[in-house]
Chains A and B, each alone.
Chain A
Amino acid sequence: MAQAPLLNVHHLQKKFGQFHALTDVDFKIYPGEVFGFIGPNGAGKSTTIRILLGLIRASGGQATLFGQDVWRDSVAIHRRIAYVPGDVTLWPNMSGGEIIDMFLRLNGDRHSDKTETLIKKFGLDPRKKARTYSKGNRQKVALIAAFSMDADFYIFDEPTSGLDPLNEQTFQAEVLALKARGKSVLLSSHILSEVEKMCDRIGIIREGRIVETGTLADMRHLTRTTVDVQTTAPVTDVAALAGVHGVTVETDHHVTFAVDADQLTAIMAFLTEKGLVALTTTPPTLEDLFMRYYQGADQAVDGK
């Protein structure tokens, strides 16, 4: 990633009265990258996105998109971005087709063949009044408008929470198509399989600060592998080794525990000396990974 970042968020803060919604948000997104933005409810994902859109003003720190300030140059920036909010609210007395066209025109775009194709792909009935749409259908309206824009940067805030699996697949295919065309995407999501499938890098936000950024592989490396082992010699003294956590003793010859990734080689050497009978190691699942960050360091889940 030698290129200059497209989005540069530096030490971003936001206060609502006395409440610190964001204390320190810091991340970058590079051209052609899909960035996953994850964190528990109320961690500050939507607040961050609203600041990036110039809807609300940061109390401190900086955020630039295309090298321009997100608050001061919002109109210029908005010409080049597309946005789908997490909670899509539409004017109840307008039809989906009308709303899609209006969003396109507000950005100086127009209804194109691409729009028609997307309406078919997502299976939206554009003539229904927005009042009669379900949550999923409202999301489709916003998604169709966003995907038919020719933007450089796409922001999706939990875009698939109301979609059925078929439409979710359509969404993923469209995002991958954007990536193939070198577009950048900021995707806030709770659906881990979605994040795993599409995102190049991930930023985890908790209590208003970014606690980790990196690729999934990097993060896996930071967590613990679960080991279930049976040996010929008694093995209970494994608990005394560095990097071993949460030992459960089944018998003297059978224990399970979690081990830090960087201590794995040393532990394996130790276990081999004890004479291996059976060994299973389980790499951390995504869930483990997220649970660890979501729940905070003080109550980290040990491996499992």
Chain B
Amino acid sequence: MTLTKWFTRTSALVKLNLRRDWTQLVLWCVVLAGLMTAVAAKFDQIYGSQRALNEIVKTLKTPAMVALFGPMTAKPPYTTAAVFAAEMLVFMALFMVIMNVIIGVRATRHDEDAGLTELVTAHAVGRGAPLLAAIVELTGLNLILGCGYGLGLQLAAMPGADSTGNWLIGFGLAAVGWAFGMLTLVMAQLADSAGGTSRLSFAVLGLLFVLRMSTDVSDPQLTWWVPFGWVEKISAYQANDWAPVWAYLLLGLLLAVLAIVIRLRRDLGAGVIATRRGRQRASWWLRGPVGLVWRQARGGLVAWLVANFVLGAAYGSVFNTIGDLAKTNPMIKQLLGTSALAAANRLVVKNFVAVLAIVMVIIALIPAIQLTLKLVGDEQKGYLHQVGATAAARWHVWAAYTGWGALAGAAVLLAGLAGMAVMGAITMNDSLAWASYWHVWLAYLPAMLVMIAVASLLVGWLPKWRYLAWGWLGYSFFAVYLGTLLTLPEWAQHLSPLGFVDRVPVKAIDWSVSWWCLGLTVLLLGLAAIGYRRRDLAQ
């Protein structure tokens, strides 16, 4: 009785949270479970023959792939299901953890920062009730997703799969997600803001992921010391070991209790680690809108640069396996001769780079559009009202946001390509020329600028409709990346400027496309600047 009083009205808060978050929760469930099911259903087609399976297993056993996906522990004869488990588990676990961190922060510190928790707990609501509501929300979400995965795998019915393995993968992923969700709730007690909680949680995830990489490559047994790596140990479709699931549940339970204990003891709005004090005076470069936007965006921008570099490097690390035609067919070497074979190998890799370039471009456009649209968000939050009353001109403020957006896009794309180039050069015997990557950058940049300029145009003229820029980005990914697979007509690809860039670096850059894209960008930016000068500041 004495303990339950701290959790009064938890069920009401759970309902409130669900009513607020349900679209987001449903979206996560549908996307993640759908992704898993779609990949599982396709897997049999991708690796149709036993020989293809044996080949991919060889690739999966290389250190680069072990570092990315975890060790390949299945024993021959290799089945589709075993390869699927090896390729997807770590990848999906990563998504599960990211989802749990996002939802966990939203359900705790986000509300506390906004002053909602203060308002809520001032009523007859237990001090621990908001936290317990977050625990319930996360538990339910992971349970449902676990069931979704299990059902999806049952439906996909991969060769070599068994129901125990299917449900084990489902609940293994749910368990790792849940445990890291509880970890996020602990971090929410340690940090004293939503941003701090996210940073701490992702820092722990990053650290564990790197640790897991190194133990997997050196000695997989050591991975038992790294909680994130436990999910690899379920040995689905082989030994079907449930021990990691119980381990996650135990860990999560301990973390949940720890979070509750700290919450009941700490002050509202405070954290165990207090925010560091800031600067007494501004540094010399914080002297205008350009410095101001940089001051706000620098942390995120660095993260995007590092993330895209790592992604590029991950792709680059498999270039040697892809670009080795002789591996799958030894006869080719004799047919083509060594130098012709090397050229053919390079062409295969170039084709691969041409496809990956689209992924890199889309990723680079995310921070670019985010920064460009941030102008309206900052107006609405009121940050820019006081700035607008200073001698800083309207066009100057607008140019700072759009300019950083364009710069971010260019830099993040460059980082991704650099990662690919560096890792490709290390792993390939006969690597691509640097110019190939450079051409990709040059070819896509003007098309990217058009998309950023359109986002800026929306900011200037139709700020309420600015989310259309995201829709267009999503469409571009769909049309250009999947377009060739789905054999979409050309006009559908040409609804995005990215669709005009034709298979660089396999083909040469079409400079006429570059020039009209640049011309259009200048025109659109001019219009955007005029629009922003003319309209009312959003309030």
A residues 78-94 touching B (CB-CB < 8 Å): 78-79, 81, 83, 85, 87-94
Instruction: Say whether B387 contacts A50, CB under 8 Å.
Output: no
**B526 lies within 8 A of chain A by Cβ:** no
Instruction: Say whether B386 contacts A129, CB under 8 Å.
Output: no
Instruction: Say whether B391 contacts A94, CB under 8 Å.
Output: no
Given contacts A87-B382, A97-B280, 6 further A-B contacts (CB under 8 A): A53-B389, A55-B385, A57-B535, A85-B385, A92-B193, A95-B277
Instruction: Say whether B277 contacts A128, CB under 8 Å.
Output: yes
Residue from A50, A74, A95 within 8 A of B278 (CB atoms): A95
Instruction: Say whether A131 contacts B113, CB under 8 Å.
Output: yes
B383 to chain A: which residues have CB within 8 Å? 89-91
Instruction: Say whether A111 contacts B386, CB under 8 Å.
Output: no
Residue of B nearest to A84 (CB): B386
A129 to chain B: which residues have CB within 8 Å? 275-278
**B393 lies within 8 A of chain A by Cβ:** yes
* Minimum CB–CB distance for A177 against chain B, Å: 21
Instruction: Say whether A57 contacts B391, CB under 8 Å.
Output: no
**A218 lies within 8 A of chain B by Cβ:** no
**What total of chain A residues lie within 8 Å of the partner, measured CB to CB?**
43
A83 to chain B: which residues have CB within 8 Å? 386, 389
**B286 lies within 8 A of chain A by Cβ:** yes
A81 to chain B: which residues have CB within 8 Å? 389
Instruction: Say whether A105 contacts B275, CB under 8 Å.
Output: no
Instruction: Say whether B391 contacts A56, CB under 8 Å.
Output: no
Residue of A nearest to B382 (CB): A89
Chain B residues within 8 Å of A, Cβ to Cβ: 113, 193, 195, 275-283, 286-289, 291-292, 295-296, 381-383, 385-394, 534-537, 539
B382 to chain A: which residues have CB within 8 Å? 85, 87, 89
Instruction: Say whether B537 contacts A56, CB under 8 Å.
Output: yes
Instruction: Say whether A102 contacts B286, CB under 8 Å.
Output: yes
Instruction: Say whether B391 contacts A107, CB under 8 Å.
Output: yes
B537 to chain A: which residues have CB within 8 Å? 50, 55-56
A155 to B388, CA, bound (A): 13
A78 to B282, CA, bound (A): 22
Instruction: Say whether A56 contacts B536, CB under 8 Å.
Output: yes
A159 to B291, CA, bound (A): 28
Best-surrounded residue of B279, B286, B390, B539 (most CB of chain A within 10 A): B390
Instruction: Say whether B389 contacts A79, CB under 8 Å.
Output: no
Given the known interface contacts A105-B287, A108-B391, the answer about A126 and B386 at a Cβ–Cβ threshold of 8 Å is: no
A101 to chain B: which residues have CB within 8 Å? 281-282, 286
Instruction: Say whether A57 contacts B534, CB under 8 Å.
Output: yes
A131 to chain B: which residues have CB within 8 Å? 113, 193, 275
Query: Please, could you name 30 A-B residue pairs with CB atoms under 8 Å apart, sorted by A?
Result: A55-B389, A56-B539, A57-B535, A75-B391, A75-B392, A75-B393, A78-B389, A78-B391, A83-B386, A85-B385, A93-B195, A94-B295, A97-B278, A97-B280, A98-B283, A100-B282, A101-B286, A102-B282, A102-B286, A102-B287, A102-B292, A103-B387, A106-B287, A107-B391, A108-B391, A127-B279, A127-B280, A128-B277, A129-B278, A142-B386
B381 to chain A: which residues have CB within 8 Å? 89
* Minimum CB–CB distance for A109 against chain B, Å: 9
A107 to B277, CA, bound (A): 26
A94 to B283, CA, bound (A): 11
Instruction: Say whether A132 contacts B389, CB under 8 Å.
Output: no
Given the known interface contacts A89-B383, A129-B278, the answer about A98 and B286 at a Cβ–Cβ threshold of 8 Å is: yes
A78 to chain B: which residues have CB within 8 Å? 389-392
* Minimum CB–CB distance for B383 against chain A, Å: 6
A94 to B383, CA, bound (A): 12
A102 to chain B: which residues have CB within 8 Å? 282, 286-287, 291-292
A90 to B537, CA, bound (A): 17
**A54 lies within 8 A of chain B by Cβ:** yes
* Minimum CB–CB distance for B345 against chain A, Å: 49
Instruction: Say whether A105 contacts B286, CB under 8 Å.
Output: yes
Best-surrounded residue of B279, B289, B394 (most CB of chain A within 10 A): B279
A79 to B276, CA, bound (A): 34
A99 to B113, CA, bound (A): 20
* Minimum CB–CB distance for A60 against chain B, Å: 14
* Minimum CB–CB distance for B192 against chain A, Å: 8
Instruction: Say whether B536 contacts A88, CB under 8 Å.
Output: no
A56 to chain B: which residues have CB within 8 Å? 536-537, 539
